[in-house]
């Protein structure tokens, strides 16, 4: 790869900042600041991933030059994904760790690239956001595919540190009102899904969603990592992904509940207000039967995410973005429950 002044600038930025933030543990900071850049020297596809991520970060740091850096991000991201697909055909001891690192990078860069797109999105094109989310899910699952084939090689490399620390605490439990809502959501799914196969797929997705809430809501600010959230992408079944591609309202509703949790990471430069803005468009994809069940998520945003119980988030800041108008927490058809 020919090194230009811009390329050197991107490498310097990645080396200085990497993917560091105040939540990352020390072993993860070292992975992205030192291990990955060194690996990229011998793996051009990983280098493209590094440069794409850095260009996206520079677009955030320098808004006046954002369009130039976004174009660079797209160029490197396209090259990285193309080469990634080729390398997946023959995972081995030489490329497994680099492919795992690249899968993580392109997934994050794709998520980051969503933010400016969502901010420009018009309501008549609300469906585009689901396509972008599906792309992020697909790329995140690429890391799982690498591990399924090359697990022993990744664990035997310096990238093993990127897989540590994501086990949920043994006593992980979401707040009572969250657990009650997941119960009611499951009950609604049973009544709304007349197709047995679809019902099973969606109930499984809600169960995984519940587990994700248990984990995210139980961790402290210093314990919570993006990987805890991305785990749901990996656990989602192929059948559920197919339902999302079909824009099935039940599947989209479940996705909305998951997407709400990105509000826990709003302090990250590549997340910011993505949860709030995305839900405004995802709501447009729900039919009149399912849409009232999104009120719970909207109420969580309005009330500063009480589901997080104050442990793993910073205060929501919605002064520059529209706040959904929430008049009730549950649709009138939802059964009442005790808050005890």
pLDDT tens figures, 61-93: 889 998 998 998 899 999 998 998 888 888 899
Can you say whether the dihedral through the CA atoms of 46, 47, 52, 56 is positive or negative? positive
Three-class secondary structure of residue 180 per DSSP = helix
- The mean-pLDDT minimum among 105-119, 199-213, 293-307 falls in 105-119
Between 241 and 157, the higher pLDDT residue: 241
How high is the pLDDT of residue 166? 62
How high is the pLDDT of residue 267? 81
Count of other CB atoms within 10 angstroms of residue 321: 13
Three-class secondary structure of residue 127 per DSSP = helix
Q: Is the pLDDT of residue 11 over 70?
A: no
Helix (H) or strand (E) holding 61: helix 44-61
> Per-residue pLDDT tens for 168-184?
666 778 889 999 999 99
How high is the pLDDT of residue 326? 32
How high is the pLDDT of residue 324? 33
Percent of the chain with pLDDT over 90: 34
- The mean-pLDDT minimum among 23-27, 231-235, 309-313 falls in 309-313
Reported as a pLDDT band with limits 50, 70 and 90, residue 195 is very high
Q: Is the pLDDT of residue 210 over 90?
A: yes
Q: Which single residue is written with the structure tokens 């310096």?
A: 158
Report pTM. 0.80
- Sorted by sequence, the CB contacts under 8 Å of residue 17 that are 6+ apart come out as 57
Q: Do the beta carbons of residue 326 and residue 276 sit within 8 Å?
A: no
How high is the pLDDT of residue 331? 44
């Amino acid at each position: 790869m020919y090194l230009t002044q811009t390329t050197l600038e991107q490498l310097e930025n990645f080396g200085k900042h990497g993917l560091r933030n105040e939540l990352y543990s020390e072993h993860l900071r070292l992975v992205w600041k030192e291990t990955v850049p060194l690996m990229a020297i011998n793996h051009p596809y990983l280098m493209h991933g590094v440069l794409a991520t850095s260009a996206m970060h520079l677009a955030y740091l320098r808004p006046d030059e954002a369009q130039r850096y976004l174009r660079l991000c797209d160029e490197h991201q396209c090259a990285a994904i193309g080469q990634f697909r080729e390398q997946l055909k023959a995972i081995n001891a030489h490329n497994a760790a680099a492919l795992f690192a690249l899968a993580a990078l392109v997934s994050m860069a794709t998520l980051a690239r969503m933010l400016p797109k969502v901010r420009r999105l018009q309501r008549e094109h609300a469906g585009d956001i689901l396509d972008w989310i599906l792309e992020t899910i697909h790329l995140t699952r690429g890391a799982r595919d690498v591990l399924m084939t090359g697990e022993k090689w990744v664990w035997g490399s310096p990238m093993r540190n990127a897989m540590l620390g994501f086990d949920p605490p043994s006593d992980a439990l979401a707040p009572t009102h969250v657990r009650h809502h997941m119960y009611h959501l499951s009950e609604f799914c049973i009544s709304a899904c007349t197709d047995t196969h679809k019902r099973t797929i969606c109930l499984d997705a809600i169960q995984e969603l519940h587990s994700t809430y248990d984990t995210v809501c139980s961790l402290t600010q210093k314990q919570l990592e993006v990987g805890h959230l991305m785990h749901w992408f990996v656990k989602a079944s192929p059948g559920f992904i197919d339902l999302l591609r079909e824009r099935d309202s039940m599947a989209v509703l479940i996705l909305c509940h998951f997407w709400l949790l990105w509000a826990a990471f709003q302090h990250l430069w590549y997340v910011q207000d993505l949860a709030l803005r995305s839900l405004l468009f995802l709501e447009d994809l729900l039919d009149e039967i399912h849409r009232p069940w999104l009120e719970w998520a909207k109420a969580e945003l309005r009330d500063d995410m009480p589901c997080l119980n104050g442990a793993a988030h910073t205060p929501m800041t919605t002064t520059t973005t529209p706040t959904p108008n929430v008049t009730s927490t549950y649709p009138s058809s939802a059964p009442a429950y005790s808050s005890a």
